[in-house]
Amino acid sequence: MTNLTRRATFGLALAAPALLFTTRRALAAEPEIYAENGIAIDGSDPVAYFAGNGPVAGGAAALSWKGASWQFSDAGNAAAFEADPQAYAPQFGGYCAYAASRGYLAPTIPEAWTIHDGQLFLNASLRARTLWLRDIEGNIAKGRANWPGILG
């Protein structure tokens, strides 16, 4: 009986570090939406991108979706987003689309954007956007294969 207890104790001692690592990793998961200080797209109006205006500062209206505050330049854009947030929210949770295609997460800037097939994609920089544009379809496919697993 003592051998069984020693074996069980030894097994638990070996398993403990693995359990701690797994727990830490689960706690370190990134949020589904990239939002600095809780604000998505640095406060830019996501609906305004679809009018071809690029980043337009929000602030006239706001609402919460998926744990982030989304800012809008007017009540009409807020209403459009609220009716169908999936249609206006950036793909890959607003993280850099090029980074997602490479299997990692990166923050974004509102000025590095692309509308492709009716979807908004953001990038970490204008340089990343240039790389993204070289193979949009391929990068989207790679990013979708990595998403949402890269959140951790």
What is the chain's pLDDT, residue by residue, as a tens digit (152 residues)?
444 445 444 444 444 444 333 333 434 699 999 999 999 999 999 999 999 889 999 999 999 999 999 999 999 999 999 999 999 999 999 999 999 999 999 999 999 999 999 999 999 999 999 999 999 999 999 999 999 999 99
Cβ atoms 58, 44 nearer than 8 A: yes
Res 2: pLDDT:
44
What local confidence, expressed as pLDDT, does residue 17 receive? 43
Q: How far apart are CA 41 and CA 75, in angstroms?
A: 18
Write out the chain in H/E/C secondary structure. CHHHHHHHHHHHHHHHHHHHHHHHHHHCCCCCCCEECCEEHHHECCCHHHHCCCCCECCCEEEEECCEEEEECCHHHHHHHHHCHHHHCCHHHHCCHHHHHHCCCCCCEEEEEEEECCEEEEECCHHHHHHHHCCHHHHHHHHHHHCCHHHC
- The model carries a pTM of 0.82
The Cα–Cα gap between 138 and 21 comes to: 34
The residue type of 114 is T
Residue 40, strand partner residues: 35
Tokens describing residue 120: 């908004």
Residue 14 is predicted with a pLDDT of: 43
Amino acid, single-letter form, for residue 69: S
Q: What is the pLDDT of residue 28?
A: 61
